[in-house]
Amino acid sequence: MPTTDQTALLALQRRALSVLADLAPAAIELGEVFREAGHELALVGGPVRDAFLGRVSADLDFTTSASPDETEALLARWGDAHWDIGREFGTIGARRHGRRNGGEDVVVEVTTYRTDAYDPASRKPEVVFGDSLEGDLSRRDFTVNSMAVRLPELTFVDPFDGLSDLAARRLRTPVAARQSFDDDPLRMMRAARFAAQLGFAVDEDALAAIREMSDRISIVSAERVRDELTKLLLAPVPRPGLEVLVDTGLAEHVLPELPALRLEIDEHHRHKDVYQHSLTVLEQAIALETGPEGPVPGPDLVLRIAALLHDIGKPATRRFEDGGGVSFHHHEVVGAKLVARRLKALRFDKATVQAVSRLTELHLRFHGYGDGGWTDSAVRRYVTDAGPLLERLHRLTRSDCTTRNRRKAERLSGAYDDLEARIAQLREQEELASIRPDLDGQQIMDVLGIGPGRDVGAAYRHLLELRMDRGPLGEDVARQELLTWWEARQAAQG
- Rounded CA-CA distance 310/395 in Å is 13
Provide the CA 204 distance to its chain's centre, in angstroms. 27
Model confidence over 325-379: pLDDT tens digits? 777 878 989 999 999 999 999 999 999 999 999 999 999 888 766 666 678 888 8
- pLDDT at residue 324 tops 70: no
**Element holding 493 (H helix, E strand):** none
What is the predicted pLDDT for the residue at 266? 47
Q: Does residue 445 share a domain with residue 425?
A: no
- pLDDT at residue 36 tops 90: yes
CA distances from 460 to 18, 434, 446, 479 (A): 66, 15, 13, 12
Residues 6+ apart with CB under 8 A from 31: 41, 150, 151, 152, 153
**Residue 449: exposure state from Cβ atoms within 10 A (0-12, 13-18, ≥19):** exposed
Q: Does residue 215 share a domain with residue 197?
A: yes
Q: Does residue 159 share a domain with residue 26?
A: yes
Q: For the whole model, what pTM was predicted?
A: 0.81
**CATH assignment at residue 248:** 1.10.110.30
Answer yes or no: are the C-beta atoms of 44 and 134 closer than 8 Å: no
Answer yes or no: are the C-beta atoms of 241 and 196 closer than 8 Å: yes
Preceding amide of 185 cis, omega within 30:
no
- Rounded CA-CA distance 311/258 in Å is 9
Q: Does residue 455 share a domain with residue 397?
A: no
What is the predicted pLDDT for the residue at 121? 63
- Rounded CA-CA distance 384/461 in Å is 14
Strands 106-112 and 59-64: parallel
Q: Does residue 161 share a domain with residue 174?
A: no
**CATH assignment at residue 426:** 1.10.3210
Q: Does residue 96 share a domain with residue 214?
A: no
Q: Does residue 409 share a domain with residue 281?
A: yes
Domain ends where: 415, 434, 453?
A: 434
- Rounded CA-CA distance 439/445 in Å is 10
Answer yes or no: are the C-beta atoms of 395 and 288 closer than 8 Å: yes
Model confidence over 113-162: pLDDT tens digits? 987 566 666 656 677 788 899 999 999 999 999 999 999 988 889 999 99
Residues 6+ apart with CB under 8 A from 216: 181, 182, 185, 188
Domain ends where: 405, 434, 463?
A: 434
**CATH assignment at residue 139:** 3.30.460.10
Q: What size, in residues, is the chain? A: 494
- Report the Cα–Cα distance between both ends of the chain, in Å, rounded: 100
Residues 6+ apart with CB under 8 A from 79: 94, 95, 96, 108
Answer yes or no: are the C-beta atoms of 89 and 110 closer than 8 Å: no
Q: Does residue 364 share a domain with residue 291?
A: yes
Residues 6+ apart with CB under 8 A from 132: 65, 113
Q: Does residue 414 share a domain with residue 347?
A: yes
Name 108's bridge partners. 60, 94
> What total number of domains does the chain contain?
4
Answer yes or no: are the C-beta atoms of 276 and 331 closer than 8 Å: no
Preceding amide of 238 cis, omega within 30:
no
What is the predicted pLDDT for the residue at 47? 87
- pLDDT at residue 490 tops 80: yes
Q: Nearest to residue 74, comparing CAs of 136, 143, 151, 9?
A: 151
Letter string b/e over residues 291-306, b meaning 16 or more CB atoms within 10 A of that residue's CB: eeeeebebebebbbbb
CA distances from 63 to 68, 89, 134, 186 (A): 11, 12, 11, 21
CA distances from 103 to 22, 42, 98 (A): 12, 22, 4
Question: Is residue 250 helix, strand or coil?
Answer: coil
Q: Does residue 203 share a domain with residue 286?
A: no
Q: Nearest to residue 244, comparing CAs of 224, 272, 214, 221?
A: 214
Answer yes or no: are the C-beta atoms of 413 and 394 closer than 8 Å: no
Q: In 261-405, which ranges are continuous DSSP H helix?
A: 274-287, 301-309, 314-317, 331-345, 350-362, 369-372, 376-386, 390-399
- Rounded CA-CA distance 186/228 in Å is 8
Q: Does residue 163 share a domain with residue 111?
A: yes
Model confidence over 151-201: pLDDT tens digits? 998 888 999 999 999 989 999 999 999 999 998 999 999 999 999 999 999
The residue segments making up the domain with residue 143 are: 4-168
- Rounded CA-CA distance 206/65 in Å is 30
Q: Does residue 133 share a domain with residue 71?
A: yes
Domain ends where: 151, 168, 185?
A: 168
Q: Nearest to residue 288, comparing CAs of 314, 306, 270?
A: 306
Model confidence over 432-482: pLDDT tens digits? 555 778 888 899 999 888 888 888 889 898 888 888 778 788 889 989 998
Query: In the predicted model, what is the mean pLDDT of the chain?
Result: 87
Report helix, strand and coil shares of the chain as percent, to nearest 5.
60, 10, 30
Model confidence over 60-101: pLDDT tens digits? 899 999 999 999 999 999 999 999 988 888 999 999 887 665
pLDDT band for position 4 (cuts 50, 70, 90): low
